[in-house]
Amino acid sequence: MPTPLPTIDMAAMPAQPSYVQVIDPVAGEAIVPLPPGGVITLGRAPSNDVVLHDERASRFHAEIRSGDAGWIVRDLQSRNGTLVNGEGIAADQPLSAGDVVRIGNVHVVFGTGDLPTGAVTAVGASGAATAEMSAEASEWQASITHRRARSRLLEAIQESAPSAPRVGQAAAELCRLAFSLSAAEDIRGIARLALDSALKGTAAGRGLVLLPIALSDYDAGAVTVDMLSVVSAAPDPWAGPLPAAAAGSVLAGDEAMIAGGDGHGSHSSFTAPIRSRGRPVGAMHLEAGEGHEATPDDLEFVMAVCDALGVAIDNLAAREALSTRLATAADENERLRRRLGDEGRMVGESPALLGIVGQVERVATTKATVLVRGESGAGKELIARAIHDSSDRRGGPFVCLNCAALSETLLESELFGHEKGAFTGATERKIGKFEAAHKGTLMLDEIGEMSPAIQAKFLRVLEGHPFERVGGSGRVQVDVRVVAATNRDLEKAVTAGQFRRDLYFRLKVVEIMVPPLRRRPKDIEPLALHFLARFASETGRKIRGFTPEAIEAMQAYHWPGNIRELRNVIERAVVLSQEDMIDAHELSLSHLASPGDSHTGRSPLAGPFTPMTIEEMERRHVLATLEAVGGNKTKAATILGIERSTLDRKLAKWAKV
C-alpha cells in the first residue's frame, strides 16, 4: 500500500492564513486559499491552480509561492509580463495584504486573515443564496481536513508498480468507467456511471452528482450553486439537505477536499469538482459509510473519476453540437438539391423542346463533343447541365466558363491555369477550368469569342493531348467532356478567318439547335407557372396564378431576352404584385426588337413603291436612322453597322448634292 497522504489539521494551521481574490471579467470572482508552505500557478492552461480567461495570459504565466519572508509572486517568463500594483516585475516580488497582481484584465488581490464572509460560496450566486449559505459554509469550512487541487492517481497509474495493489484496482476501475462512459447518451447516464464507480472504489456509503442539466449551460460562463441539480444519487434517492456549502466551496476554489464528521451522526465526506473545458461546472459529493473514514486515497480516486466524467461531458456536448450541425447541413443540402433539380429541369411541352430532350438523352450516353447553338437566354447552359446529369459523368464536376467575359490572357489562365509568378498578380499556383472539370463536364459559353491563339491550344486539348499551365513546363493530362455553346454564326466566322476551321469541325460532332422562346409559344405558359411557383415559395407570397389577360400578353410578346427575360419578368411581378393573381399591367415587357427581326421603325420603303437607286435608298435609310436616334451619330453608326468616320463621309458627300 502506498503511504497515505498526511491529514492536515485545520486547527494547527498558522494564525494568519493567506488567500487571493481572483477577479476575472470572464469567469467572475473567486477566493483561492493559499496552502501554507505551498505554491499555486496562474495561467491559461487547464492544469493551473488558477485558470485565467484572458488571451494575453500565457499558458503558465506566474506563480505565487511561500518564501522565507512570506508570500512572493514570480513571473514564469510570460509573453506579456506580470504587474504588481501597476509596476512590471522582473524578479521575485514579495506580497503584502492588499497588493494587486494584474495579468491582462485579470486582477489577483492578495489578502491575509480570515476569508471574506461567504467567499466559499459559488461565484455569481444570488445575494439570497449567499446569505443563507454563509453561516453553513463557515461551519462546514472549519471541518475540512484535507484539500487537493489535482489528482496524483493517474500519474501513479502511469508509474504503477506491481507492489501497489490499490493503484492497480483503481486503474482497472477507471478503464472500465472510460469504456462505459463512451456508450452513455445523456447527462444522467454518464453521471450515474461515474457515481457508481466512485462508490465502488472508495469507502463511501452514499453520494450524489450535482450538475446543470442542460448542456448549453456549460457554455454560459461561471456555473453557480443555484444552477446545479441532482442528476444522480446512489444507492438510494438523496435524503436530507443538499451539500450546498461543499459544492459552493469546490466551485469557488476548484479543488477537492475532505471534511470530518461532527461526532453527532454526521459522517466524514469528500467532495471533488467536475471540470468541463478547464473550469468547474459541478461537484461529486460522497459520505463515508458507517464505521469508515474518508481518506486522501479515496479523494484521489474520486478526483480521477470526476476528471473522466468531465471529459465525457465535453464529448457529449460536442456530439450533440455535431449532430445539430449535421442535421442542419442535411436539411440545407436537401433544399439546395431540390432547388438545383428545379433549376436544371427543362419545362415545356412544345415539339421543339421534346425533340431537344430526345437529343439530350441520346447524346448523353456517348463521349461526343456537343455544340449547342441558340440566342442568348434560350437555355443553352440548361441543356449542357442536362447532358451532364444524364451521363456517366454526373458524379463528377460540372464547370462553366463564359469565354466572352475575359481578355485573351485571362481566358488562357482560366482555362489552363497558371504557375506562381507567371505574370503580374500571379501570387500562387492556380488550376484552370480543365483541371477543375477532370472526370466531369466543361461547358464553354460564347465559344465564338475565343481568340485564334487560344483556339489552337484548346483544339489540342480536345484531341486528347496534355497541356501546360501558363508559365509552367509540367504537362497536365485531363479527362473532360466539352459542351460548347454560342449564339454567333460560326460558319460566317470561319469564312472570315475569325474561327479555326479544324476547331469548328471538332466541336460540331453533335449539334443541338435551341429555338428562341418566341418560336415555342406552347412553352411560355408552363415556364411562367414554373417560375411563379418557385418565386412565390422563396418570397412567401400567396399568388395563385395569372389572369387570362396576362397569359394573352405573354403569348403575344416576342421575348427578345428569351427564357432569361421571362424569368426576370415573373420574379419582378411576384415581388411587386399586390393581388393573388398577376395581371397584364404587372408584367414589365420591353420594346426591344428580337435578334434577327427587321427594323420596325421608320423605313425608306414604307408606303407605295417608289422607283429609286440603291444609293438613294441608302441615303434615305441612313437619314431616317439618324433622325430616330435624335441625331446621335455614334448610335446611328452602331445601328447601321458602320464606323463613325464612314457615316461622317457619307453625310458630307450628301450635303454637297
- Which of 120-129, 287-296, 422-431, 619-628 has the lowest average pLDDT? 120-129
436, pLDDT greater than 50: yes
DSSP string, 509-575: TEEEEE--GGG-GGGHHHHHHHHHHHHHHHHT----EE-HHHHHHHHHS--TTHHHHHHHHHHHHHH
DSSP three-state, residue 148: strand
Of the chain, the end-to-end C-alpha distance in Å amounts to: 126
DSSP bridge pairs for 75:
62
Please tell me the predicted confidence (pLDDT) of residue 11. 43
Top-confidence residue, 284 or 333: 284
Query: Distance between CA 596 and CA 209 in Å, rounded?
Result: 82
- For residue 14, is pLDDT > 70? no
Average pLDDT value for residue range 78-94: 90
Mean pLDDT across 288-302: 81
Rounded alpha-carbon distances, angstroms, from residue 111 to 17, 40, 99, 115, 462: 9, 15, 8, 9, 82
Res. 123: pLDDT tops 70:
no
Rounded Cα distance between 348 and 341, Å, is 15
Q: Check residue 479 and give its pLDDT.
A: 92
**Does residue 121 carry a pLDDT above 60?**
no
The CA distance from 89 to 86, in Å, is 10
Residue type, 637: A
Mean pLDDT of 151-166: 49
Whether 258 contacts 145, CB under 8 Å: yes
pLDDT at residue 12 is higher than 80: no
Task: Kindly state the percentage of the chain with pLDDT values over 70.
Answer: 83
Alpha-carbon distance values, 463 to 363, 458, 655 (Å): 19, 9, 57
Given 3-state DSSP classes, what are the helix, strand and coil percentages for the chain, each rounded to the nearest 5? 40, 20, 40
Query: Could you tell me the pLDDT band of residue 133, with boundaries at 50, 70 and 90?
Result: very low
Task: Please report, as a single letter, which amino acid is at residue 372.
Answer: V
pLDDT at 150: 57
Main-chain phi, psi angles of 163, to 5 degrees:
-85, 10
- Per-residue pLDDT band for 5 (boundaries 50, 70, 90) equals very low
Q: Which residues lie below 8 Å from residue 383, measured CB to CB, with a gap of 6+? A: 346, 356, 360, 372, 512, 514
